[in-house]
Structure 1
C-alpha cells in the first residue's frame, strides 16, 4: 500500500486564557467582530447575527452580547465563560433573555457540566418553536506553529434541530405527555429505591419535571439529584448537590470523604464549585439512553444513588450532628 506524500500534523489544544486573558475585555470584543459572530451563527446552523451591543446594561448587571438574527427583529443573547459552567450563569441567561425577549440564547463556556447541559435540554423541551437554547463549548487549537484557531462545539441545542416532532398535546388536567412520562418514570424510580432499601424522598409528590431530588440532610443542604434528559442526546445521571449557607461546612467534610473513599467508580466523578462559591456538586458520568429499556435506565440510576449514598450519607449525618452540637 502506497503511503500518502501529504505531511500530516497533530491538533494541539491551547489554553483559552493564553488566547483571551479576560472574558469581558478580550473574548467578548473578539466575538463581537462581524466575522466571528458569523462563524458562531454558522456553527449553530443559523443564517447570521447582527451586533446590537456588547455589555448591554440589565439592572445592575450587563449582558455580554446582544444581537439580532439577520433580516429579522428577533434578539439573540450570548453569555460567555472562559471556565466551566456554573449555576450563576443559569440565572443570568434566563434574566437577560426575559429582558430582551431573546429568541435565541447562546451560552458559551470552556466546559459544560452534565447538570447544566441537562438544564438546557429541559429548557428546550418545555419551550415552543419560537425559542432556542444553545450550549457551546469553546476550544482553541493549532497544528505545530500554525495560527491558533477557535472551535465552537455545540453540546446542547433546540429539540427541533435534533429530534422528531414532540407530542405537545395537553391533557385536561394541564399535564403534557412529557409530564406524564416523567411522573411514571419517577414513580417507578421511587419503587425501585424502596425495593432496594435505599434513601428515598420524604414526601412522595408527583414529579413532572426532569429532576428527582433525594435529600441526604434534613436541613435542605445536601441532595442526590437524578435527572433524565430526553432531547439532544438522551441520557440519565446523578450528582450530589450541596446548597445554601451551610454549603462551605458540608463541602469541607464531603470533599475529604471523597478523597479518602476507596471506591473505584467514585474516581470517575468530578467536583464543581460555582464562581460565587455558593453551590458545590459532585457529578458522576452520565449514561447514554440509546435504545435501553426504562427498567435498565432506572437500574443505572438506582446504582448511582446507591454509590453516592453509600459514600456520603453517613458523613452528611455526622456533619449535621456536629453543627447541632450533638457529637
Structure 2
C-alpha cells in the first residue's frame, strides 16, 4: 500500500481575506450568519448591520429565529481589546440583548475571563459568547473559515432551546413548516443565502444584501398573499426616504424587470420604513396538500427574490 499524501493546513491572516472590517468582514458575516448559528447552537436571523446605538454603530443586530429575543454581534479583525468589550456591554444594555456575541481572531486571557465573569453574574435572560474565526487553507486551496467557541454560558443551549419550545403556539406550526420547505426549494434553485437556514414561526424571513437597513424579504401578507419585497428599514427615517426616492426615480426601469407582475410602491407611515413589493395570492390548504401548487408558489418566490436582490444590489452597492 502506497503512502497517503496529505495536504498541509495553513492558517491565514484574516486581513488577507477581509481588508476592511466595516466594508468587508461585517457584510460577509451577515451573509454567512449560519456559521455563527451552528457554532453556538442557536439560529440567528440578521435584521440590520451597522445599527445606530446612541453615538456608536453596532456591527450586526438580529433576533433568535422564531422569537423576539435580541442578538447583537460586535466583530473585529484584530486582537480583542478593551474598547470593543466596552462597546459590547454598552450595546447589550441599550438594546436589552439576550444573546451577545463578540467575534475576534485573537482572544486574550483577560478578555476570555471577562466574558466568563459576565456570564457568571448574568441571569438566564442574558448570555455572552466569545468566538474566534480561524481562516485556513489546505495547500493552495481557497481559504475557508471555521469558528472556535472560546467562551459561553454553561448549559446554555439546552436551556435556551427549552425556553423557545415553551413559547410555541399552534398558529406557528404552518409558518415553520412553510419556511422549512421554502428554504429547501430555494437552496436547490440557486439561492445560497437559503442554504442551512433554520425555520422560524415569524410571518416573514429576510435576506441581507450587505447594506445596513436594507433587506430583501419574503412575508405572509394580509389577504392570504405572499409578498416579496425590498424593505427599507433604517432607524433614521430620513435615510429610508432618501433610499425610497432613489428607487422611485428609477421606477420605470424597475417596473420593467418584473414580467407579468404589478409592482407595489409603498412609502409607509411617517417614512419610518418603506418597501417596493410584488404580491401573489395563495390558498393555505392547497399549499399544504398539493405539491404542484406548493412548488408553483415557491417558483414564484424564487424568481422574484432573484430579481429583487439584483435590483437592491444595483442601486445600493
TM-score (norm 2): 0.48
> Higher helix share goes to which structure?
2
Higher relative contact order (CA 8 A, sep 6+): 2
The structure whose Rg is larger is 1
